[in-house]
């Protein structure tokens, strides 16, 4: 793995404080093997930014997005069909634009052209259309998941925005938006600079990212997988503001709010061609240490949740002689890596393994059973994934299956 330079300040002075594990099963043989690597999570010793400090190759991107496309944000069980988080985003952006007009003594004017960079399936644009029925809306993304039939869509590589032309918005973009995108792009400064080039003279950029300014509330951690290899960058308000400054943008408005499992950091940015770069401290400042703490705290709590699951499995085996695990993926691999006694329980068949897509494969002397077999299970079987979205689907499938236990579900 080649080391990357800091994507905010270009220096290459890292302090690695943790790793992110990522792997895939090699299913070519009957016996499953894990192709598994640890990717360094580091803090830039020049500007304090926290990111995965290796270069993301095309090969790595292909692996990362092969198994799980970039999913829509999983806010909370109670918010699955809700548009509220997206309405809050557009309201934040529009009130910021109003503030700008007020400051300049201009009459209020709705943005004529609104472009969503990294629009996904288009939830934010749908909320925008409801708020701004007369505006011209465009969605841009590279993964073609867009599902809004009456909004224009452009396929474009978000890591290459300097190649973007202004054909679709000859007067410039009045409001650009990127919600839960900046943490995924290779170079956030180039991404912001690329958008800035497309702005109209009074245009602004709305950005929302997961907030790593401070440790997350314990009950939220792990439920939406905010520390994972698809997230290259971990922002605090300070580092996001620094990224904006490096791109020639200034902060107009900011907010930090928590919705369900997601601490959200929102900013509205505008071009500021005259700002000086003065974020030159050689030592990280105290605020930048907080991002390291927030990420470490997040990972530690995920480990605690896996330890709780391991304890439940052991207790069930002690009590019933046998137990099961359902969902043989990344969390399973971390669980058995951190609690190697479970491998012996797998080998002795006291711990049965269930998975729909890996059924029939062998692991540590055991044949993985299809999850449909759980309908008639007589021993407690625990869901293995932490991610709430995955467990919701598994709970829906297993409603009638008496022995299936979701060890992480605390009610809606």
How many C-beta neighbours within 10 Å does residue 88 have?
A: 17
Candidate residues 6, 32, 207, 394; the one interacting with Zn ion per rule CB under 5 A = 6
> Minimum CB separation from Zn ion for residue 263, in Å?
23
> Minimum CB separation from Zn ion for residue 44, in Å?
3
> Minimum CB separation from Zn ion for residue 158, in Å?
21
Residue 251 is encoded by which pair of tokens?
């902060």
Indicate whether 44 belongs to the interface with Zn ion (CB under 5 A).
yes
**Residue labelled with tokens 């929102």:** 266
292/330 with CB nearer Zn ion:
292
> Minimum CB separation from Zn ion for residue 250, in Å?
19
> Minimum CB separation from Zn ion for residue 267, in Å?
19
Identify the bridge partners of residue 268 per DSSP, sorted by sequence position.
206, 253
Q: Which of residues 349-368 bind Zn ion (CB under 5 A)?
A: none
Indicate whether 49 belongs to the interface with Zn ion (CB under 5 A).
yes
Indicate whether 52 belongs to the interface with Zn ion (CB under 5 A).
no
What mask, x for binding Zn ion by CB under 5 A, covers residues 156 to 175? --------------------
4/6 with CB nearer Zn ion:
6
Q: How many residues lie near Zn ion (CB under 5 A)?
A: 7
Residue 226 is encoded by which pair of tokens?
């905010």
Candidate residues 4, 9, 205, 226; the one interacting with Zn ion per rule CB under 5 A = 9
Q: Minimal CA–CA distance to 226: which of 217, 234, 218?
A: 234
44/151 with CB nearer Zn ion:
44
Indicate whether 243 belongs to the interface with Zn ion (CB under 5 A).
no
* H or E segment and range at residue 199: strand 199-210
56/354 with CB nearer Zn ion:
56
224/288 with CB nearer Zn ion:
288
Cβ burial, residue 219 (10 Å; 0-12/13-18/19+): exposed
State residue 163 phi and psi, 5-degree precision. -85, -5
What mask, x for binding Zn ion by CB under 5 A, covers residues 100 to 129? ------------------------------
C-alpha 343/C-alpha 365 separation (Å) is 10
> Minimum CB separation from Zn ion for residue 2, in Å?
17
Q: What three-state secondary structure class fits 46? A: coil
DSSP 366: E
The region of 48-56, 103-111, 170-178, 257-265 touching Zn ion under the rule CB under 5 A is 48-56
> Minimum CB separation from Zn ion for residue 217, in Å?
28
Q: Minimal CA–CA distance to 193: which of 119, 258, 269, 263?
A: 269
Strands in 404-405's sheet, in edge-to-edge order, are 351-354, 323-326, 381-383, 404-405
Pairing, β 113-117 against β 136-141: parallel
Candidate residues 20, 41, 47, 335; the one interacting with Zn ion per rule CB under 5 A = 47
> Minimum CB separation from Zn ion for residue 178, in Å?
21
Instruction: Write the CB contacts of 119 (distance below 8 Å, at least 6 apart in sequence).
Output: 125, 139, 140, 141, 146, 153
What is the residue-wise DSSP string for 141-155? ESS-----TTSEEEE
> Minimum CB separation from Zn ion for residue 288, in Å?
10
44/119 with CB nearer Zn ion:
44
C-alpha 356/C-alpha 53 separation (Å) is 35
Candidate residues 42, 46, 177, 194; the one interacting with Zn ion per rule CB under 5 A = 46
Identify the bridge partners of residue 235 per DSSP, sorted by sequence position.
211
Given a contact cutoff of 8 angstroms between Cβ atoms, the answer to whether 244 and 250 are in contact is yes
Half-sphere exposure of 243 (CA within 13 A, CB side): 31
Indicate whether 233 belongs to the interface with Zn ion (CB under 5 A).
no
276/412 with CB nearer Zn ion:
276
Residues of this chain that interact with Zn ion (CB under 5 A) are: 6, 8-9, 44, 46-47, 49
């Amino acid at each position: 793995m080649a080391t990357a330079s800091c994507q905010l300040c270009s220096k290459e002075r890292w302090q690695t404080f943790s790793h992110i594990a990522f792997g895939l099963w090699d299913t070519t043989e009957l016996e499953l093997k894990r192709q598994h690597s640890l990717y360094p999570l580091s803090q830039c010793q020049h500007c304090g930014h926290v990111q995965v400090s290796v270069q993301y190759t095309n090969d790595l991107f292909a692996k990362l997005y092969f198994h799980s496309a970039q999913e829509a944000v999983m806010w909370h069980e109670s918010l699955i069909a809700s548009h509220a988080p997206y309405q809050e985003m557009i309201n934040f952006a529009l009130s910021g634009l109003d503030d700008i007009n007020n400051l300049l003594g201009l009459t209020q004017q709705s943005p004529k052209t609104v472009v969503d960079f990294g629009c996904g399936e288009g939830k934010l644009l749908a909320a925008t259309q409801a708020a701004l029925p007369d505006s011209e809306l465009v969605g841009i993304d590279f993964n073609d998941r867009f599902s809004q039939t009456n909004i224009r869509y452009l396929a474009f590589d978000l890591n290459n925005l300097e190649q973007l032309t202004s054909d679709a918005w000859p007067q410039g973009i009045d409001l650009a938006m990127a919600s839960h995108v900046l943490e995924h792009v290779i170079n956030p400064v180039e991404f912001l600079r690329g958008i800035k080039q497309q702005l109209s003279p009074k245009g602004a950029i709305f950005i929302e990212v997961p907030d790593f300014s401070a440790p997350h509330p314990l009950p939220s951690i792990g439920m939406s997988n905010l520390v994972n290899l698809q997230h290259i960058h971990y922002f605090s308000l300070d580092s996001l503001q620094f990224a904006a400054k490096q791109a020639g943008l200034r902060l107009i408005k900011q907010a930090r709010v928590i919705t369900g499992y997601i601490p959200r950091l929102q900013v509205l940015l505008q071009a500021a061609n005259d700002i000086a770069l003065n974020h030159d401290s050689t030592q990280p400042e105290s605020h930048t240490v907080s991002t390291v703490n927030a990420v470490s705290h997040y990972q530690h709590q995920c480990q605690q949740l896996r330890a709780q699951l391991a304890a439940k499995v052991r207790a069930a085996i002690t009590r019933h002689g046998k137990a099961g695990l359902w969902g043989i993926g990344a969390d399973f691999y971390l669980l058995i890596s951190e609690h190697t006694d479970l491998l012996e329980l797998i080998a002795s068949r006291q711990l049965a393994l269930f998975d729909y897509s890996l059924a029939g494969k062998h692991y540590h002397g055991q044949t993985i059973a299809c999850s449909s077999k759980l309908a008639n299970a007589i021993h407690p079987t625990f869901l293995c994934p932490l991610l709430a979205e995955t467990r919701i689907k598994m709970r829906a499938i297993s409603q009638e299956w008496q022995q299936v236990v979701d060890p992480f579900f605390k009610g809606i």
